[in-house]
Amino acid sequence: MLYPQESETRDVKDLSGIWKFKLDGVGRGLAEQWYKAPLADPIDMPVPSSFNEITPDKAIRDHVGEVWYERHLFVSDRLQGQRVCLRFGSAEHTATVWVNGTEVAHHVGGFLPFEADISDIANFGGNNRITVMVNNVLTWDTLPTGYIQTYDDTNHPEGFRIQQHQFDFYNYAGLNRQVLLTSTPKTYIEDILIRTDRDGKAGIVHYSLDIAADAKSFSAKVSLFDEDAQLVAASTGTEGSMTISNVRLWKPGNAYLYEAVVEVLDESGSLVDIYRLSLGVRSVKVTETQFLINDEPFYFQGCCKHEDMDVKGRGFDHAMLLKDFYLMEWIGANSTRTSHYPYSEEFMQLCDRKGIVVIDEVQAVGMRCEEDSTQTYNDTHISSRTLAHHKKLMAELIKRDKNHPCVVMWNIANEPIVNEKKAGEYFAEVAATTRELDPTRPVSLVTGDVVKPEECYPFEYIDVMCINRYHSWYSDPGHTELIEMQIVNELTPWHEKWHKPLIVSEYGTDTIAGMHALPAVMFTEEYQCEALEAFHRGFDRLPFMIGEHVWNFADFATKQGVKRVVGNKKGVFTRQRQPKAAAFLLRKRWAKL
């Protein structure tokens, strides 16, 4: 799905602002057809934002189930005859959209965009009522997974229920990214696929266009420009290849972007549609001990992140987006993983521009049944229904992000149960689907389970091993002197078994900013630094290690529980993006690397 842009043939209207909002705790809205008339007794709610954070009302923060959004929209009559769509950057986790009382879209799976064609529904030259029902419930058939726990006892009121899930971040919900009104011609460029290669000093750009054709006859032209707006290559037709002499490669920390201008022309040669796409020329390869970008060894250094902030929750915010990028640049990060869901398209575009390498992760998290961890993959929990949804989301993610040069790897899950043989069968299918959709990038999977390497059945089917370890935190708490030995002794057998490169994709400790002790004790800034230094000594002894991603970039919100005090405090920055001592330690290390 192409990112919306304005051009000679396209229009985009941002619908961000204050919408009407209403909880639907018992699911009355559909039965009573709230989409048929304006919402009764709504409150105001900003879009984009997570509705959980906006009001002081506990019932709204902890709401489980459906919520309703509504706004009125004037659609200009000059758009009549165009393809007019509502485009949602995301809606967590299931959404249904109505325009003027007519259903126009239904989407399952948060964090990814979807659109509704309203060309035949809209009232052009007048007002239109947009109604959106969003449901934040997670089940074993969704990703992330979860389940609703209900209570039938004297200690809970009738109908009391809570959302349970096995992941450690807050289940923010609502319209968390921008909603746009877009228009294109009826004959329009629906999709573009770019794949790049090199031949000596020349760059090869292969392209394929999907044209939704309302016209009887059309032609297509692709022109490629460098950053000085000089034409460097051109081609005609819906498929083809272009050669760039003396190509400038897209490199980590030194991004160079070309611009492909795609035009659709009618029989007379007049412009019908035009789309401009940034692209980078680079190659990716994996060996037994290395990750190569443009045939040069690359070492992943950086932090995992969350889309998380005060007040807005996971709601998209340009200021916070840029703040985080400037801090990543300051700390010396060259990469990140979109833990544990796809991040905004604007995030991916900035990574392209700034040369930040991305491990792109689908929202496959929480895939574990803690009641009986040996029976996760069955018809009750992770089932064929989950697998079908997983494949669908991988297809949506790859369709959205396939042209980003920053994306060097697809990560198909975070910390699922891996030591059931059915886990191998499940992820063999997901990995095969991913490679079929994109054979140009390697596939990874993250495990956090402490199992024998041969019992991690999915690793047979992936290209890069990603392992999360929290030595001296969840194991041997307080004993940082063990970390170096444990890292070397534990990780070496993984490489000996699978003969694949390895990233320590999470490591760290909870740290309360401003808490100090000498000698260091848990939760102090000294302890976080001491632990990170011990991890690093172990990493530096392992020749098959290709990266280190600290958990986490910044403190973030989680559900309430006895293991968390107002969220997860493993950030090297606070939730307000102020540095802890560990940020300076990492800045010094990564400058040397």
How far CA 302 is from CA of 329, 351, 372, 463, 593, in Å, comes to 10, 13, 35, 20, 11
Residues 561 and 554: their CA atoms lie apart, in Å, by: 19
Q: Is residue 4 part of a domain?
A: no
For 19, half-sphere exposure in the C-beta direction (CA atoms, 13 angstrom radius) is: 29
- The confidence score (pLDDT) of residue 129 equals 98
Taking the whole predicted model, whether its pTM rises above 0.95 is answered as: yes
Provide the CATH number for the domain around residue 576: 3.20.20.80
What HEC string does 236-303 produce?
ECCEEEEEECCCCCCECCECCCEEEEEEEECCCCCEEEEEEEEECCCCEEECCCCEEECCEECCEEEE
Catalytic residue among 53, 345, 415, 484: 415
The reply to whether 248 and 311 lie within a common domain is no
Q: Tell the burial category of 141 from Cβ atoms under 10 Å away from its Cβ (0-12, 13-18, 19+).
A: middle
The reply to whether 330 and 406 lie within a common domain is yes
The reply to whether 192 and 180 lie within a common domain is no
- The confidence score (pLDDT) of residue 215 equals 66
State how many domains the chain has: 3
Nearest residue to 145 via CA among 370, 313, 308: 370
Q: Which residues neighbour 371 within 8 Å (Cβ) at sequence distance 6 or greater?
A: none
Read off the tokens for 324.
Answer: 């985080």
- The confidence score (pLDDT) of residue 248 equals 98
- The confidence score (pLDDT) of residue 216 equals 73
- The confidence score (pLDDT) of residue 369 equals 86
Boundary-marking domain end, from 222, 248, 279: 279
Catalytic residue among 66, 345, 506, 548: 506
Q: Is residue 465 part of a domain?
A: yes
Q: What type of residue sits at position 587?
A: R
Q: Is residue 287 part of a domain?
A: no
What HEC string does 184-220 produce?
ECCCEEEEEEEEEEEECCEEEEEEEEEEECCCCCCEE
The reply to whether 255 and 325 lie within a common domain is no
The reply to whether 371 and 488 lie within a common domain is yes
What value, to the nearest 5°, has the Cα angle with vertex 419 and ends 418 and 422?
80
The reply to whether 401 and 548 lie within a common domain is yes
Catalytic, 506? Answer: yes
The reply to whether 269 and 411 lie within a common domain is no
- Domain extent, residue 369, equals 298-592
Residues 326 and 332: their CA atoms lie apart, in Å, by: 10
How far CA 10 is from CA of 176, 217, 474, in Å, comes to 24, 20, 53
- The confidence score (pLDDT) of residue 373 equals 56
The reply to whether 268 and 396 lie within a common domain is no
How far CA 496 is from CA of 26, 288, 337, 347, 546, in Å, comes to 54, 10, 25, 36, 15
- The confidence score (pLDDT) of residue 275 equals 98
- The confidence score (pLDDT) of residue 588 equals 98
Read off the tokens for 465.
Answer: 């091993």
**Residue at token pair 């919100």:** 557
Provide the CATH number for the domain around residue 205: 2.60.40.10
Read off the tokens for 511.
Answer: 């740290």
Report the 10 Å Cβ neighbour count for 40. 8
Q: Is residue 292 part of a domain?
A: no
Alpha carbon of residue 413 to chain centroid: 12
The secondary structure of the chain in percent helix, strand, coil, rounded to multiples of 5, reads 20, 35, 45
Q: Is residue 153 part of a domain?
A: no
Catalytic, 92? Answer: no
Boundary-marking domain end, from 247, 279, 311: 279
Q: Is residue 33 part of a domain?
A: yes
- The confidence score (pLDDT) of residue 335 equals 98
Q: Is residue 3 part of a domain?
A: no
Residues 542 and 365: their CA atoms lie apart, in Å, by: 28
The reply to whether 86 and 201 lie within a common domain is no
- The confidence score (pLDDT) of residue 1 equals 83
Q: What are phi and psi of 152, to 5 degrees?
A: -130, 70
Q: Is residue 467 part of a domain?
A: yes
The reply to whether 478 and 581 lie within a common domain is yes
Residues 285 and 440: their CA atoms lie apart, in Å, by: 9
**Tens place of pLDDT for every residue, the chain, 593 residues?**
899 999 999 999 999 999 999 999 788 999 999 999 999 999 999 999 999 999 999 999 999 999 999 999 999 999 999 999 999 999 999 999 999 999 999 999 999 999 999 999 999 999 999 999 999 999 999 999 999 999 989 999 988 889 999 999 999 999 999 999 999 999 999 999 999 999 999 999 999 999 998 767 899 999 999 999 999 999 999 999 999 999 999 999 999 999 999 999 999 999 999 999 999 999 999 999 999 999 999 999 999 999 999 999 999 999 999 999 999 999 999 999 999 999 999 999 999 999 999 999 999 999 998 766 568 999 999 999 999 999 999 999 999 999 999 999 999 999 999 999 999 999 999 999 999 999 999 999 999 999 999 999 999 999 999 999 999 999 999 999 999 999 999 999 999 999 999 999 999 999 999 999 999 999 999 999 999 999 999 999 999 999 999 999 999 999 999 889 999 999 999 999 999 999 999 999 999 88
Provide the CATH number for the domain around residue 89: 2.60.120.260
The reply to whether 310 and 426 lie within a common domain is yes
The reply to whether 255 and 313 lie within a common domain is no
What value, to the nearest 5°, has the Cα angle with vertex 576 and ends 397 and 88?
30
